[in-house]
Chains A and B, each alone.
Chain A
Amino acid sequence: MQPIDGRQAALSKLRICDFTGQLAGAGATKIMAMFGAQVIRIEDRLTEGGWDIFRGNGPWIDDRRGVSLGGAFNNHNVEKLGVTLDMRKPDAKGVLEELISVSDVVTENFSAGVLDRWGFSYEEMRAIKPDIIYVSNSGFGHEGPYGNFKTWGPIVQAVSGLTFQSGLPDMPSAGWGFSFMDHTGAYLMAIAILMAVFHRNQSGVGQWVDMSCSDGAATLNGPAMLDYTVNNRALRRPGQPNSNRSDFPRMAPHGIYECAGDDQWVAIAVRDESEWLTLCEIMAMTNAEKQYPTLSSRMGHQDAIDAEITQWTRSRTPTEVMNAVQSKGVPSAAVQHPEDRMEHDPNTEAWGLFPTVKHQLIGEVRVDGMPMKFSETPAKIQNGAPILGQHNRQIFGEVLGIDKDTLEAFLEQGVI
């Protein structure tokens, strides 16, 4: 690996043999790649990598279409290397064995059983590389009665309690409006990979990590689950959920309020007594201040208080409200539109959060960046996602040492 700004990459000693796709898997190995791991993304030559639905889907940067031009795919696969293999061909098996023998980690988020069918179960991979780390990530995990169930982010969110926790009383769930658990599944997968690498470095022992996104998601409901198991108080009860209100800890007022303009909103969270008095002063709510001096009185009259707040916010822009309320130290924030966050937000801009990468066919395009700054080993985000088979020669030739004639033959036979 090349040093970045004269500094080293954190994970340059790691090679990952990567079958992941979509976001729940690809998002994990992307982070490894940003920190310098050599992530070799293996895709099916025959279906042109079509298993990953993002590969050939929009958004698009212009009128061109194709399996190497998908905008989401590029976003989720920066800094990776791409090779192709057709696992239906016997020779491909030998190539994969070679690759595993020089890899630290094998990652995938297929349905349960795909690697087994190819002859690469964990036991078989261990025979090739005794300390191999194998991390599988699926919606329900490989083990358990739902091991073969079909999922994607919203299904994981539904069965784990997260969807239910987002919405208003007596309404269907609002849900998350995006695959929160594909992002979060990827984060948990990245943590699991790093934990397993740390353990191998320490002990010399590899392992198979069978991840279930649903397990990970269900851990994110802790206080509500304990309220049930300890106090026998279920969240499925009248008046709940009401997720713009505060669950734990109790705060009031706490909500998202209408502002001037089209679909403009502002969030305000009042954490304690003194912030309540401050808010009343800012918004000149002299009656409310007298009527609801205590937290329990405010908790009991949230609709009335919210209506008063809205009287004040609805003639102002979200930024005007935010600035006025923040200037007195009370949490408030505009509900930012995508454009606000990516074009007019001084924090994301100063951070360099949406860097421009160079993609072989798409050209220059901005992507999700890294929300952490490392003093010694900064993340590197310069190269876009690989086009199909972009690094076949580099990986199969230089890394595995397959000679030129064999490579040509493999290409011709569709092995790679």
Chain B
Amino acid sequence: MESRGDSSVLQGVRVLEIGGELGAWCGKLIADMGATVIKIEPPEGDPTRAYEPFYEDQPDPNKSLYFWHYNTSKRSVTLDLLSDRGRDLFLNMVESADVIIDSLPAGCLSSLTLGYEQIKTLSPAIVMAQITPFGQEGPFRDYASADLTALAFGGPVWNCGYDDHSIPPIRGGGNQGYHTVCHYAAIGIMTALVYRQFTGVGQHIDVNMHAALNVTTEGATYNWLVAGDTVQRQTGRHASVTPTAPSQILCRDGRYLNVGFPARTEEQWFHLLAWLDEEGLVESLGEYLDPPNWAAMRAGDPNAREQQRRVAEAMQTLAMKTDSYDLFSRAQGLGFQWGIIYSPEDVLNDPHFQARGFPTDVEHPELDASFVYPGAPYKLPASPWAIQGRAPLLGEHNEQVYLEELGIEAGEYESLKSRGVI
């Protein structure tokens, strides 16, 4: 690795990304921190290039917004790994690589004699992370998988849904199963790279999505492991062994707020009373004007529950005549742990996200336009996160990689193209 001092964290780190949708987020996390990530696609293109939504709803391998999002800062080369020459070219790329991110099905690279055993003889210090639904070996290894089935099987779905259990449990949207395994893969790759800085030693990392989701369910797991208890799903709040009070209220503008019980201290309680009084709602609490007995509330005491119910009702009445943002900012001003339930587009229009510079402009020279993308998950001022460029067009970096970096003759390059090797 080259050392460039005060610059992007991973500048000079070369990464090969191979495989499909499972590993793309990991590649983006690494690429946006400055690594050179070369996405190796089959000549017909990565399957996610066919995923909706499309720019102006025009299906086109270079216009998938899904592909755009998950592949910023990367380069694209095309390569048919099943051909002999394709295999050789892959191994040539391996020689100069620091990291491989592979999310092909388990055993796929090994069957092409391109597994870690072969890779490490060429490049002993390489860090190779293989991301699969169930790990490289063992039960379910060859089961088919999708984000929905992974989240169902791995545990998160059990937590999630509505009070009414005739409604199925709900999967949280947005491919969060894939994100979760990629967060682990990124942790693994960075851990291995730090170890390599200290020792010069590379290694193989087997990253298991089913396992990653199984350790991402919070109380469902440790209530079982510690006490043998099973949590039950509830509308809009934590799944729980014993039922808890509703936590979402509908506001005048149609948005919901997540409120929980609004007073957690005596001081907050008196703020709340003053607020309800100002709105002419304090009478609805009746005689329940003393600070709540929080211990009794947790223990399910009927009086405490009645107070809780009346407060919730008063808050709902207040919400129906107030817009969500006003209610949210007023409540937070009083120290209440409330949150406005934003849709993704609301986030981009919010003053806090804007002040932190979250919406990020990305140039698309091929369309002579620029678009707003989600920004940095963390800010490292001395070595900043940055989208180095929009997602690559299919094979956009073939010439750069094959001609300039691997030094293939122009004649052979043309022949590889015409034979569909690249």
Contacts and interface: CB of A to CB of B under 8 A. Distances in A.
Contacts of B1: 202
A389 B182 CA distance: 35
Interface string B359-378: 10000000000011111111
A54 to B, nearest CB: 10
A168 interface: yes
Given A161-B343, A166-B173, A372-B184, A178 B222 contact: no
A236 B378 contact: no
A347 B139 contact: yes
B203 A75 contact: no
Given A333-B150, A374-B203, A11 B195 contact: yes
Most buried by B among A184, A209, A347: A347
Nearest to B361: A229
Contacts of A138: none
A79 to B, nearest CB: 14
B211 to A, nearest CB: 3
Contacts of B352: 140, 144-146, 214
A154 interface: yes
Interface residues of A, number: 155
Interface in A55-103: 58-61, 71-72, 74-75
Given A71-B227, A243-B171, A256-B169, A175 B375 contact: no
Contact of B229 (A59, A172, A178, A250): A59
A42 B51 CA distance: 48
Contacts of A195: 9-10, 33, 190, 378, 380, 383
Contacts of B51: 223, 248-249
B82 interface: no
Contacts of B193: 194, 198
Interface residues of B, number: 155
Contacts of A172: 235-236, 248, 250, 256
A192 interface: yes
Interface string A344-362: 0111101101100000000
A247 B203 contact: no
B197 A235 contact: no
A219 interface: yes
Contacts of A341: 154-155, 214, 221
A338 B220 contact: yes
A228 interface: yes
A177 B155 CA distance: 11
A231 B171 contact: no
B53 A336 contact: no
Interface string A125-150: 00000000000000011011110011
B226 A371 contact: no
Interface string A243-262: 11011111100111110000
Give the 6 A-B CB pairs with smallest separation, nearest first. Answer: A177-B159, A371-B211, A71-B226, A158-B339, A222-B69, A155-B339
26 contacts: A154-B237, A155-B337, A165-B174, A167-B170, A172-B236, A174-B236, A184-B183, A195-B380, A196-B380, A202-B1, A215-B353, A216-B378, A218-B358, A221-B344, A224-B345, A226-B68, A226-B69, A230-B53, A256-B157, A256-B169, A326-B144, A337-B230, A345-B214, A346-B140, A347-B134, A372-B205
Given A198-B9, A256-B157, A337-B158, 19 more contacts: A163-B341, A165-B174, A166-B170, A172-B236, A173-B256, A174-B235, A178-B217, A189-B378, A201-B194, A210-B379, A214-B353, A219-B376, A222-B70, A244-B168, A249-B51, A338-B155, A347-B210, A375-B205, A376-B202
